[in-house]
Amino acid sequence: MNVRYATSADNGGTARTAWLMTVLFLASLLNFADRAVFSVLAQTIKVDLRLSDLELGLLQGLLFALFYGLAGLPVGMLAERVRRTSLIAAATAFWSLATAATGLATGFVQLAAARLAVGFGEAGFTPAAASLVADVTPPRRRSSMIALVQLGSPAGAFLGATIAGAIAAASSWRTSFIVFAVPGIVVAALLHWLVAEPLRGQQDGAAAQTQQAPSLAEFFATLRASPTLCWVIAGGSLAGFGMTSISQFLAVFLARTYSLKVGEAAALFGTISGIALSIGLLAGSFGTDRLSARDPRWPAWGAAIGLSLAPPLYWIAFSAPALPVATGVLLAAGAMLLVFYGPTSGLIQNLLPTRMRATGIALFTLLYTLIGSGLGPVFVGGLSDHFAARAYAGNFHLDCPKGLPAPGAGADVIEACRSASAGGLQVAMSAAVGVLFLAALCFLRASRGLKARADQTSA
């Protein structure tokens, strides 16, 4: 059904917009659920395939981010030129098949190939989805409406973690990946056949509707002319380093530190992520949208405030001796961290012309992925291995190869290996969240430009 609609002002248009937002939410849910499945099963995969924390970091970070990030910019430019709903449909089907392939892997190399494929497929979602939402939403509501689609992230984290953990406990980690591949094929069919494509620029006036897709050189010229936009993208990308570092290792941290079984750690990870992400997204997006009517700097201010409060809360949580205390503080920390995401996406949409919005989100996704997903988990994994070895009283690499007790090890060695690995991961994750202060400074710098831009517009 290659239908286009010109406006969402009438009842039919409103219904089509609601249907578009619903299916985009489902695609967003699956986009994040497939990642959450790997995160919560990482410890089980590590034990089964004898992987180090560094190898886990590579699988969850650099190898996934490589194609996800590099494919994003070309896909973003493609989204300026083709039917975006069909582009997202093809991407959803591809990453779902790659998720199934993850469950069939028997070693690091095969896992790496599957993660590369998942990253390549998931790169097609965010730029095109943000562009679609901007075309059916007025500028002052874009952060909020984008946040509604992005609520698929916490929903995906919760469902992916809890369901995958339950499946893995009842069957195997491989079954979890295969099961999660099926819904993606269904959503891909809905997007391609039953979702109408909105008219580009319909919320931005007649001139926006006639704009032609720009070249990459024109896009970067526009970017260079907007230091405010550059600061927003830089701040969001640095925030991604801390966010991904936490999300990819939090389930592992909970399992090691509090001796939880895979199902228990997965369920707790899903609950923490689902609640914290939802609160942060909604508070950051709806809150700054409302406050921006008073002062246009609030989207940047809100992001900076959340990013400044998150690190101290994470430091308290990582050193908490009791699980209930750690859980409560992790909820607060995660909510503060996620305040930045909705305003960042909304600002990128509002600071760029209509036919550059998908490319702008793609550039943000590229940097967010390479800095955040690419470097964050690898940084945490490598640092975790290093500090675990330092915390161990004996020969860590002999007694605990790749952080796991050597075959035939006694109970005292098993416990010592677990304790050292938990301590190493705690130090590594505590170090990773420090970068959030730099991200906050970037948003504070961007706020100056937002004020100047508003003054010029009103003059």
User: What would the pLDDT profile of 174-226 be if each residue is shown by its tens digit?
Assistant: 999 999 999 999 999 999 898 888 887 676 554 444 456 678 888 899 999 99
Q: Quick check: 10 pLDDT over 80?
A: no
190: which 2 tokens?
């809905």
Element (H or E) spanning 4, and its range?
strand 4-5
Beta bridge partners of 198: 5
Tell me what the pLDDT averaged over the chain comes to: 86
**Residue 244 pLDDT > 50, yes or no?**
yes
And the tokens for 292?
């921006």
Please, is 271 exposed, middle or buried when counting C-beta atoms within 10 Å of its C-beta (0-12, 13-18, 19+)? middle
Average pLDDT over residues 44-57: 86
Alpha-carbon distance of 47 to 403, in angstroms, equals: 10
C-alpha–C-alpha distance, residues 140 and 293, integer Å: 8
φ and ψ of 5, to 5 deg? -130, 145
Of residues 310, 326, 309, 307, the one with CA closest to residue 318: 326
4-200+215-458: CATH topology: Growth Hormone; Chain: A; (1.20.1250)
User: Measuring CA to CA, which residue among 131, 137, 193 is closest to residue 354?
Assistant: 131
Q: Among 373, 360, 382, which Cα is nearest to 76's?
A: 360
Question: Is this structure's pTM higher than 0.85?
Answer: no
Rg (CA), the chain: 22
Q: Is 50 left (phi over 0), alpha (psi -120 to 50) or beta?
A: left
Confidence of residue 79 (pLDDT cuts 50, 70, 90): confident
Dist. CA 71–CA 67, nearest whole Å = 5
Q: Which residues of 126-146 are buried (b: 16+ CB within 10 A; e: fewer)?
A: bbbbbbbbbbbbeeeebbbbb
Three-state DSSP class for 83?
coil
pLDDT at 357 over 70: yes
d(CA 339, CA 318): 21
Crossing angle for the helix pair 62-79 and 216-224, to the nearest 10 degrees: 100
pLDDT at residue 349, rounded to an integer: 84
Flag whether pLDDT at 12 surpasses 80: no
Which amino acid is residue 445, in one-letter code?
R
DSSP 304-348: HHHHHHHHHHHHHHHT-SSHHHHHHHHHHHHHHHHTTHHHHHHHH
The mean pLDDT of 167-174, rounded to a whole number, is 90
List Cα–Cα distances, 129 to 83, 88, 197, 272, in angstroms: 11, 8, 11, 26
With residues binned 3-state (H G I as helix, E B as strand, rest as coil), the percentages for the chain, rounded to 5, are 80, 0, 15
* Predicted pLDDT at 403: 84
Average pLDDT score over residue span 13-34: 89
Q: Specify which of 158-162, 280-284, 308-312, 346-350 reaches the highest per-range mean pLDDT.
A: 308-312
**Whole-angstrom distance, CA of residue 387 vs CA of residue 260:** 22
CA distance 228 to 96: 37
Q: Map out the domains of the chain as residue ranges.
A: 4-200+215-458
CA atoms 30, 75, 62, 151: torsion sign? negative
CA dihedral angle for residue 146, residue 149, residue 434, residue 329, rounded to 10 degrees: 120
